[in-house]
Each structure stands twice: as structure tokens, then as C-alpha cells.
Amino acid sequence: MNIPPEVQQLIALAREMRHHAYAPYSGYAVGAAVLTDDGRFFGGCNVENASYGLSVCAERTAVFRAVAEGARAIVAAAVVTPDGGTPCGACRQVLAEFAANLSECPVWIATPDHLVGVYTLAELLPHAFRLPR
């Protein structure tokens, strides 16, 4: 698969972010990165808490960092997990909230060692809840 340089950079950032994960309870370290429509990259990692409901996923951390820096439109994302897992439902919904276009927003899935695949957000969340803007 021919992977464009910006996607390689996106996946590399997600892999790097995975090293910052705080996952003492599950042991499931996740890194994520998003690319915004203005060409900026934002990374995030999962951060667990003894009160599990207070934990936050890597994908949401990356999106929230982007939003905190003024970004509002995500055009691609990458997620790196130990086993190639895809984003949870909550993360899919958050990604959908900020995706410029669900059908054209790829989510690259990888492990620490290899690329697993790519899906659009529309494929991952076929009936997304979106309010008109």
C-alpha cells in the first residue's frame, strides 16, 4: 500500500503518543493523532483513572487538543493499539462531530509494528448523530 507522507507522519505521531499512555489498570496503551484541515497534527494518548468513568481515550484526547488549539475540522485520524483495535463508539462519535466529511475522513488503524487498515468514519459510524451547523 502506497501511504502518503502526511499519513506516515500521522501514524508515526500516533505511535509516539502511545508511549505516553497512562494505562495502569487495563495495560492497553493507545496512541492517536488527528490531522486538521489547516494541515496541523495533534496527538493524544489514553489516560486511565481508578474511577474508570473518568478515564479518557486517546482519540478524544487528540481531538480535544486540536479543538483547544482552535481547530474545528478533522480530515484524517490514526489510532495505534496493541492489537489493531478500532475506536470505541464514544470516540467514533467525537471524531464524527469534528470531521469535515464522514465519507472522506480516513481513520488509519495500526499496531506498534504494522498498518492494519483504513476505514472512513462513515464506515465506522454509519448512522452518526450530527446536528446541523
Active site residues: 59
Cα separation, 30 vs 63, in Å, equals: 14
Q: What angle do CA 125, 69, 62 make, to 5 degrees?
A: 40
- Is 99 exposed, middle or buried, given 0-12, 13-18 or 19+ CB atoms closer than 10 A? buried
